[in-house]
Amino acid sequence: MNWRKLRTVLLTALFLCLIPATRYYQIDQPILRSLEGRRPLDPAELHLAGEFVENNLGTEMDSNGSVTVRMLAQQYLFIPHCILVPAGIPVHLRITSADAVHSFAIEGTGYNVKVLPGTVSETQLQFPTAGVYKTACREFCGAGHYAMRSEVKVVPREQFPALRPDERGNCGAQ
């Protein structure tokens, strides 16, 4: 084998090795973290028990002031349909899918979280000012994909803890 042939073979081998590597890094790092050391969720059980049961969805503020949002993506909606969060502080998002692969993208921001059945995707959101943000699924998930939309309503930080618990997780009485 002459040097040219050898070089071609080596370059081809290197290229083939890089394909799986790039695919791996395309997956969001939060998803990779969430895959480590957790028992997989059973999508069929989501509505019945555990962290993602309906009355546990939406925004929650702990006594230490940290804010967590729990959401469910399913064909073809996000639950809750509208979430309420405070401006100016980090919001910890935990989201999972009841069926297909979806994504939760917040328009006008860089946020686009891939949502997979059987696992929890986590990320940290932060909104500098109050306002309403449209969200959309950006992963083709079936016939109703283009209608899979929701909203994030960001309220001034000082208004948020004053909300009654039953107002959390929806944009109702604002």
Catalog residues that contact ligand CUA under the rule CB under 6 A. 76, 102, 137, 139-141, 145, 148
Shortest reach from residue 79's CB to ligand CUA, in Å: 12
Q: Using the minimum distance from each CB to ligand CUA, give the nearer residue, 87 or 105.
A: 105
Q: What CA–CA distances, in Å, run from 13 to 6, 20, 165?
A: 11, 12, 58
Task: Give the C-alpha separation, 113 to 125, whole Å.
Answer: 11
Q: Using the minimum distance from each CB to ligand CUA, give the nearer residue, 57 or 137.
A: 137
Q: Using the minimum distance from each CB to ligand CUA, give the nearer residue, 68 or 75.
A: 75
Q: Using the minimum distance from each CB to ligand CUA, give the nearer residue, 25 or 140.
A: 140
Number of helices (H), then strands (E), belonging to the chain: the values are: 2, 10
Shortest reach from residue 78's CB to ligand CUA, in Å: 9
Task: Give the C-alpha separation, 22 to 19, whole Å.
Answer: 5
Shortest reach from residue 39's CB to ligand CUA, in Å: 25
What SS3 class is residue 112?
Answer: strand
Shortest reach from residue 143's CB to ligand CUA, in Å: 10
Counted residue by residue, the chain has a size of 174
